[in-house]
């Protein structure tokens, strides 16, 4: 970070972005397949697809693509800003399904049934007007530069050589330098456009904060009304998802504002003009902190929103989401701690591998208690939930357990119920174990 060598972290981020994209697309497909015609499922599917495109940022640096891909990178960035506008409107429009007292009008069938297609159309029109008013794509969202350090180069005494640069139409010229220690390599540099495009970077966070208050209000209102417990739990899950986004990404938005004030604009190309290494480190931490916050908040939203919509539709989805979430949290924070330990030891002693061992061994030895703590946190975020069929089986099991034991006739009755409800043996064992555990807790 101190000298701007970020190729490794750029590749790591691009890989994790692609992985997060696949997870969110998978969750979006689960949601739409559960109830294809339900307006809330269509709405949430569109939201997760928009988020999946936004987390894919920097995919073009995963492979050493040539300058012929410049137009495709620009096309991707146009859609990225389109998804940014769409997410802003989608966040606020969640009240169509979980209304507050002042947003009851959003629950009308003609409105909520058509949001899933109307909002993308409106977003496309708005972005089109922005581009038309600025005169070009580059002047609206900025251009893209391709840096090529794979050619035969003559390096100076400091190990530097001029880079071969290619520009998308309308991009400002910059200076590029290749490092002898890192060559050969190629990558793309996106630049920021007008102040309006910078506003689109930060506005989704403020719309998420607004959605936090809307969902908290809706959660309390639905909980107070009789017979709407499921909707209240869904509003609660959305409230948690938006809160996570607002906190994590909100902190990093201030880093964007800070770098804009300090360096003039939030632009990756500015690295070529920063001579003070201390300033460069600050800039890079702010930049990559913001980029990684996109992945973290996108994944967190994906889990919480999928739980909200699917918990009553797909057998055992809450359990699987909790397990996956716990594994992701353990892996993420474990990797961060190992990275920090390695960097600290590298700076202090020059033996970076020792820091990895010092941090890694306790993580391996203490993985069970750590997982137990994470699982408790996951259960708080995503409480146990059962589908309608599972609730019917639990009621039957409760009847069969009146004497705290099940007769042979009662077991045959339960087997018939399980077959009728299409529950497999593994799920039956889990439901019965959960019920028995809940009885012991009550005692």
pLDDT in tens, the chain (443 residues): 555 567 778 888 899 999 999 999 999 999 999 889 999 999 999 999 999 999 998 899 888 899 999 999 999 999 999 999 999 999 999 999 999 988 989 999 999 999 999 999 999 999 999 899 888 888 888 889 998 988 777 888 888 888 889 999 888 887 778 888 777 888 888 887 666 666 777 788 889 999 999 999 999 999 888 778 888 989 999 999 999 999 988 888 777 777 767 666 555 555 555 555 666 677 777 778 888 888 999 999 999 999 989 887 776 677 788 888 888 888 888 887 887 788 777 777 777 778 778 888 888 888 888 888 888 888 788 877 777 788 888 888 888 877 667 888 888 888 888 888 888 888 888 888 888 877 776 66
Does 98 map to a domain? yes
Residue 2 included in any domain: no
Same domain, 208 and 282: yes
Does residue 78 lie in a domain region? Answer: yes
Q: Do residues 14 and 37 both lie within one domain?
A: yes
Q: Which residues on adjacent β-strands are paired with residue 148? A: 164, 186
Task: Count other C-beta atoms under 10 Å from residue 336's C-beta.
Answer: 12
Residue ending a domain, choose from 314, 345, 373: 314
Examine the domain organization and report whether 357 and 272 are in the same domain: no
364 Cβ partners below 8 Å, 6+ apart?
Answer: none
Based on the fold, state whether residues 147 and 55 are members of the same structural domain: yes
Q: Does residue 324 share a domain with residue 270?
A: no
Measured CA distances, 47 to 4, 51, 171, 242, 284 (Å): 35, 6, 31, 13, 30
> 247 and 339: one domain?
no
Residues 174 and 25 in one domain: yes
For residue 322, being part of any structural domain is answered with: yes
Domain count, the chain: 3
Residue 396 and residue 381 in one domain = no
Q: Does residue 1 belong to any structural domain of this protein?
A: no
Q: What is the reported pTM?
A: 0.81
Q: At what angle do helices 229-263 and 277-310 cross, to 10 degrees?
A: 170
Q: Which domain holds residue 433?
A: 388-442
Whether 272 and 371 map to the same domain: the answer is no
Could you tell me if 18 and 59 are in contact, meaning their C-beta atoms sit under 8 angstroms apart?
yes
* CATH classification at residue 202: 1.20.1070.10
């Amino acid at each position: 970070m101190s000298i701007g060598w970020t190729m490794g972290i750029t590749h790591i981020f691009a890989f994790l972005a692609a992985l997060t994209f696949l997870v969110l697309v998978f969750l979006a497909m689960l949601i739409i397949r559960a109830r294809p015609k339900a307006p809330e499922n269509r709405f949430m599917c569109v939201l997760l697809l928009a988020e999946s495109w936004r987390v894919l940022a920097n995919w073009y640096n995963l492979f050493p693509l040539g300058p012929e891909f410049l137009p495709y990178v620009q096309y991707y960035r146009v859609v990225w800003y389109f998804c940014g506008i769409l997410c802003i409107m989608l966040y606020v429009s969640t009240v169509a399904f979980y209304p507050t007292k002042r947003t009851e009008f959003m629950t009308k069938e003609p409105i909520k049934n058509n949001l899933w297609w109307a909002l993308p159309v409106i977003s496309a029109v708005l972005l089109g007007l922005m581009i038309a008013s600025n005169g070009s794509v580059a002047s609206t969202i900025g251009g893209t530069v391709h840096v090529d350090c794979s050619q035969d180069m003559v390096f100076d005494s400091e190990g530097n050589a001029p880079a071969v640069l290619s520009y998308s139409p309308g991009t400002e010229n910059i200076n590029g330098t290749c490092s002898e220690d890192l060559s050969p390599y190629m990558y793309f540099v996106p630049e920021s456009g007008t102040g309006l495009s910078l506003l689109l970077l930060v506005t989704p966070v403020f719309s998420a904060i607004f959605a936090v208050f809307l969902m908290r209000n809706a959660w309390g209102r639905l909980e107070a009304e009789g017979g709407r417990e499921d909707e209240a739990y869904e509003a609660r899950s959305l409230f948690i998802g938006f809160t996570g986004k607002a906190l994590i990404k909100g902190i990093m938005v201030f880093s964007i504002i800070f770098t804009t004030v300090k360096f003039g604009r939030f632009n990756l190309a500015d690295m070529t003009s920063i001579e003070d290494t201390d300033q460069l480190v600050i800039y890079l931490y702010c930049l990559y902190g913001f980029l990684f916050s996109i992945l973290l908040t996108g994944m967190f939203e994906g889990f919480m929103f999928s739980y909200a919509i699917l918990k009553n539709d797909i057998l055992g989805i809450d359990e699987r989401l909790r397990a996956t979430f716990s594994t992701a949290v353990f892996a993420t924070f474990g990797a961060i701690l190992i990275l920090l330990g390695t960097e600290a030891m590298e700076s202090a002693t020059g033996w970076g591998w020792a820091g990895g061992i010092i941090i890694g061994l306790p993580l391996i030895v203490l993985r069970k208690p750590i997982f137990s703590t994470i699982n408790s946190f996951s259960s708080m975020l995503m409480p146990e939930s059962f589908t309608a069929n599972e609730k019917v089986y639990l009621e039957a099991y409760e009847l069969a357990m009146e004497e705290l034991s099940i007769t042979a006739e009662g077991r045959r009755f339960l087997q018939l119920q399980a077959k009728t409800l299409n529950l497999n043996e593994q799920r039956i064992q889990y439901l019965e174990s959960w019920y028995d555990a809940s009885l012991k807790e009550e005692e």
